[in-house]
Structure formats: C-alpha cells, structure tokens
C-alpha cells in the first residue's frame, strides 16, 4: 500500500469549507483536514495516483480564490 502525499495549503478562513467541498467532490483524489482554522491552513492528503489531478484542481482554485500550496 502506498502512503498518501501530504500537501499543506493556505487559504482564507472563510474559504475553508468551499475548498473542502471542491476537493472532496473530486471523487477519491484527496481528503482535506483543517490544520489551523484561524490561519486558514489545511492539510490535503492526496492519493499518489491522483497527484496530477490534485495539482490541476489546486491551480484552478488558486485562480479563483486565495489558495496556495506552502509545503
């Protein structure tokens, strides 16, 4: 079994639910957990086979709202 890739991302506090909804709506590519809600820090656990798909979603979100991968 391959471990998930963990991306730390930053968004606005008010966008956390939206980001969670969008990413988890893409069946099976990732799971979102909130690391620090006050700072808008999220951890996204990405299935290795879907990393490219997640990065496309992340790029699209970054054009729409404050959303950037920080680690």
Q: Measure the CA–CA gap between 33 and 20, rounded to whole angstroms.
A: 8
pLDDT reading at 1 higher than 60: no
Q: How is domain 5-69 classified at the CATH fold level?
A: Alpha-Beta Plaits (3.30.70)
Tokens for 68, please give them.
């950037």
The string of DSSP letters for 34-66 reads: EEETTTTEEEEEE-GGGHHHHHHHHHHHHHHSS
pLDDT reading at 9 higher than 60: yes
Q: How confident is the model at residue 34, as a pLDDT?
A: 96
**What's 12's DSSP letter?**
-
With beta carbons less than 8 A apart as the criterion, state whether 65 and 12 touch: yes
| Maximal C-alpha separation, the chain | 35
> Structural domain boundaries of the chain?
5-69
pLDDT digits (tens, 9 = 90+) for 14-69: 999 999 999 989 888 999 999 999 999 999 999 999 999 999 999 999 999 999 99
């Amino acid at each position: 079994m391959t471990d998930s890739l963990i991306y730390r991302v930053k968004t606005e506090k008010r966008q956390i639910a939206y980001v969670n909804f969008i990413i988890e709506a893409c069946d099976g590519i990732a799971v979102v957990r909130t690391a620090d809600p006050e700072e808008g820090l999220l951890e996204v656990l990405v299935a290795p086979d879907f990393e490219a798909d997640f990065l496309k979603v992340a790029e699209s979100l970054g054009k729409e709202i404050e959303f950037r991968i920080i680690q």
